[in-house]
Structure 1
Amino acid sequence: MALAVIVGAGAGVGSVVFRWCIETFTHLFSGHADYAASPGTGNPHAPWLGPYFVLLAPVLGGLLYGPLVNRFAKEARGHGVPEVMLAVAQRGGRISPKVALVKTLASALTIGSGGSVGREGPIVQIGSALGSTLGRVTKVTEGRMRLLVACGAAAGIAATFNAPLAGVFFAMELILGTFSAEAFGATVLASVTASVIGRAAFGDAVFLRLPDFHVDHLAQYGLFALLGIVAAAVGVGFSRFLYLIEDACDWIWRGPEWLRPAVGGVALGLVLLALPEMYGVGYPVLQKATHGGYAVGFLLLLLVGKMLATSLTIGIGGSGGVFAPSLFIGAMLGSVYGAGVHNLLPQSAGAVGAYALIGMGAVFAGAARAPITAVVILFELTGEYSIILPLMLAIVLATATSRLLTHDTIYTLKLRRRGIDLEGPASGAQIGSQRVGTVMEPLPSPLPASTTLADAADLLSLSGHGALPVIDDAGAYVGIVTAQAVAEALAEQPEAAPTLVGQLAEPPASVAADQPLSQALRTLISAAGTGVPVLDSAHGTPVGWLSHQSALRAVHASA
Structure 2
Amino acid sequence: MALAVVVGAGAGAGSVVFRWCITTFTHLLSGHADYSASPGADNPHLPWLGPYFVLFAPVLGGLLYGPLVNRFAKEARGHGVPEVMLAVAQRGGRISPKVAVVKTLASALCIGSGGSVGREGPIVQIGSALGSTLGRVTKVTEGRLKLLVACGAAGGIAATFNAPLAGVFFAMELILGTFSAEAFGATVLASVTASIIGRATFGDTAFLHLPDFHVDHLTQYGLFAALGIGAAVVGVGFSRFLYLLEDACDWLWRGPEWLRPAIGGLALGLLLLALPQMYGVGYPVLQKATEGGYAVGFLLLLLVGKMLATSLTIGIGGSGGVFAPSLFIGAMLGSAYGIGVHHLLPHSAGAVGAYALVGMGAVFAGAARAPITAVVILFELTGEYSIILPLMLAIVLATAVSRLISPDTIYTLKLRRRGIDLEGPAPGARIGTQHVDAVMEPLPSPLSASTTLADSADLLSLSGHGALPVVDDTGHYVGVVTAQSVAEALAEQPENAPTQVGQLAEAPAQVTADQPLAQAMHALLSAAGTGVPVLDSEQGKPVGWLSHQSALRAVHTAS
**The TM-score by the shorter chain falls in which range?**
over 0.9
The structural deviation recorded for 1:449 is 2.1
Q: Comparing 137-146 with 498-507, which one deviates more in the overlay?
A: 498-507
Structure 1 counterpart of 2:528:
528
Structure 2 counterpart of 1:23:
23
1:175 aligns with 2:198: no
Structure 1 counterpart of 2:7:
7
Number of residue pairs aligned between Structure 1 and Structure 2:
559
1:212 aligns with 2:204: no
On the 8 A contact 2:210/2:384 being kept in 1, the answer is no
Structure 1 counterpart of 2:165:
165
User: TM-score w.r.t. structure 2 length?
Assistant: 0.99
Give me the whole-angstrom Cα distance separating, in 2, the residues matched to 1:211 and 1:239: 31
Give me the whole-angstrom Cα distance separating, in 1, the residues matched to 2:349 and 2:456: 63
Structure 1 counterpart of 2:139:
139
The structural deviation recorded for 1:214 is 2.2
Q: Comparing 451-460 with 94-103, which one deviates more in the overlay?
A: 451-460
Give me the whole-angstrom Cα distance separating, in 1, the residues matched to 2:242 and 2:338: 26
Query: Over residues 188-228 of structure 1, what are the superposed CA-to-partner deviations in whole Å (9 max), with x where a residue is unaligned?
Result: 11111101000000011123323432223221111000000
Structure 1 counterpart of 2:422:
422
Structure 2 counterpart of 1:453:
453
Q: Secondary structure at the match of 1:479?
A: strand
1:319 aligns with 2:319: yes
Structure 1 counterpart of 2:355:
355
Give me the whole-angstrom Cα distance separating, in 1, the residues matched to 2:246 and 2:446: 55
Give me the whole-angstrom Cα distance separating, in 1, the residues matched to 2:452 and 2:277: 73
Q: Comparing 524-533 with 352-361, which one deviates more in the overlay?
A: 524-533
1:251 aligns with 2:242: no
Query: Over residues 96-140 of structure 1, what are the superposed CA-to-partner deviations in whole Å (9 max), with x where a residue is unaligned?
Result: 000000000000000000000001110000000000001001101
Give me the whole-angstrom Cα distance separating, in 1, the residues matched to 2:276 and 2:18: 23
1:108 aligns with 2:108: yes
Q: Secondary structure at the match of 2:127?
A: helix
User: TM-score w.r.t. structure 1 length?
Assistant: 0.99
Structure 1 counterpart of 2:541:
541
1:66 aligns with 2:66: yes
Structure 2 counterpart of 1:307:
307
Q: Secondary structure at the match of 1:498?
A: coil
On the 8 A contact 1:66/1:259 being kept in 2, the answer is yes
Give me the whole-angstrom Cα distance separating, in 2, the residues matched to 1:64 and 1:310: 19
On the 8 A contact 1:482/1:528 being kept in 2, the answer is yes
Give me the whole-angstrom Cα distance separating, in 2, the residues matched to 1:116 and 1:534: 49
Name the aligned partner's letter for residue 386 of structure 2: S
Give me the whole-angstrom Cα distance separating, in 2, the residues matched to 1:503 and 1:24: 64
Q: Secondary structure at the match of 1:385?
A: coil
Name the aligned partner's letter for residue 328 of structure 1: F
The structural deviation recorded for 1:60 is 0.4
Give me the whole-angstrom Cα distance separating, in 2, the residues matched to 1:215 and 1:495: 49
Unaligned runs of 5+ in 2: none
Give me the whole-angstrom Cα distance separating, in 1, the residues matched to 2:341 and 2:481: 56
On the 8 A contact 1:36/1:277 being kept in 2, the answer is yes
Q: How does 1:191-210 map to 2 (within 5 A)?
A: 191-210=191-210
Structure 2 counterpart of 1:519:
519
Name the aligned partner's letter for residue 91 of structure 1: R
Q: Secondary structure at the match of 1:396?
A: helix
Q: How does 1:247-396 map to 2 (within 5 A)?
A: 247-396=247-396
Give me the whole-angstrom Cα distance separating, in 2, the residues matched to 1:440 and 1:176: 28
On the 8 A contact 1:211/1:290 being kept in 2, the answer is no
- TM-align CA RMSD: 0.9
On the 8 A contact 1:334/1:356 being kept in 2, the answer is yes
Structure 2 counterpart of 1:153:
153
The structural deviation recorded for 1:493 is 2.0
Q: Comparing 452-461 with 354-363, which one deviates more in the overlay?
A: 452-461
On the 8 A contact 1:26/1:34 being kept in 2, the answer is yes
Query: Over residues 38-93 of structure 1, what are the superposed CA-to-partner deviations in whole Å (9 max), with x where a residue is unaligned?
Result: 01011111111010000010000000000000000000000000000000111111
Give me the whole-angstrom Cα distance separating, in 2, the residues matched to 1:123 and 1:163: 13
The structural deviation recorded for 1:434 is 1.0
On the 8 A contact 2:163/2:195 being kept in 1, the answer is yes
Give me the whole-angstrom Cα distance separating, in 1, the residues matched to 2:268 and 2:253: 15
Structure 2 counterpart of 1:464:
464
Give me the whole-angstrom Cα distance separating, in 2, the residues matched to 1:379 and 1:113: 30
Q: Secondary structure at the match of 1:465?
A: coil
Structure 2 counterpart of 1:234:
234
Q: Secondary structure at the match of 1:450?
A: coil
Give me the whole-angstrom Cα distance separating, in 2, the residues matched to 1:477 and 1:308: 53
Give me the whole-angstrom Cα distance separating, in 2, the residues matched to 1:284 and 1:448: 65
Structure 2 counterpart of 1:478:
478
Structure 1 counterpart of 2:92:
92
Structure 1 counterpart of 2:127:
127
Give me the whole-angstrom Cα distance separating, in 1, the residues matched to 2:69 and 2:15: 20
Give the percent of matched residue pairs that are identical in Structure 1 and Structure 2: 88
On the 8 A contact 1:212/1:382 being kept in 2, the answer is no
On the 8 A contact 2:206/2:383 being kept in 1, the answer is no
On the 8 A contact 1:22/1:108 being kept in 2, the answer is yes
1:75 aligns with 2:75: yes
On the 8 A contact 1:79/1:321 being kept in 2, the answer is yes
On the 8 A contact 2:443/2:533 being kept in 1, the answer is yes
On the 8 A contact 1:110/1:318 being kept in 2, the answer is yes
Q: Secondary structure at the match of 2:386?
A: helix
The structural deviation recorded for 1:333 is 0.4
Structure 2 counterpart of 1:500:
500
On the 8 A contact 1:271/1:309 being kept in 2, the answer is yes
The structural deviation recorded for 1:512 is 0.7
Name the aligned partner's letter for residue 197 of structure 1: I
Runs ≥4 residues deviating over 6 A: none
Q: Comparing 377-386 with 320-329, which one deviates more in the overlay?
A: 377-386
Q: Comparing 374-383 with 123-132, which one deviates more in the overlay?
A: 374-383
Unaligned runs of 5+ in 1: none
Structure 1 counterpart of 2:48:
48
On the 8 A contact 2:207/2:382 being kept in 1, the answer is no
Q: Secondary structure at the match of 1:545?
A: strand
Name the aligned partner's letter for residue 53 of structure 1: F
Q: Comparing 379-388 with 273-282, which one deviates more in the overlay?
A: 379-388
Give me the whole-angstrom Cα distance separating, in 1, the residues matched to 2:35 and 2:181: 43
Name the aligned partner's letter for residue 51 of structure 2: P
Structure 1 counterpart of 2:558:
558
The structural deviation recorded for 1:503 is 2.3
Q: Secondary structure at the match of 1:68?
A: helix
Give me the whole-angstrom Cα distance separating, in 2, the residues matched to 1:210 and 1:331: 13
Q: Comparing 115-124 with 452-461, which one deviates more in the overlay?
A: 452-461
Give me the whole-angstrom Cα distance separating, in 2, the residues matched to 1:529 and 1:331: 47
Give me the whole-angstrom Cα distance separating, in 1, the residues matched to 2:62 and 2:316: 9
The structural deviation recorded for 1:14 is 0.3
Structure 1 counterpart of 2:35:
35
Name the aligned partner's letter for residue 437 of structure 1: D
The structural deviation recorded for 1:496 is 2.5
Give me the whole-angstrom Cα distance separating, in 1, the residues matched to 2:476 and 2:323: 49
Give me the whole-angstrom Cα distance separating, in 2, the residues matched to 1:506 and 1:380: 37
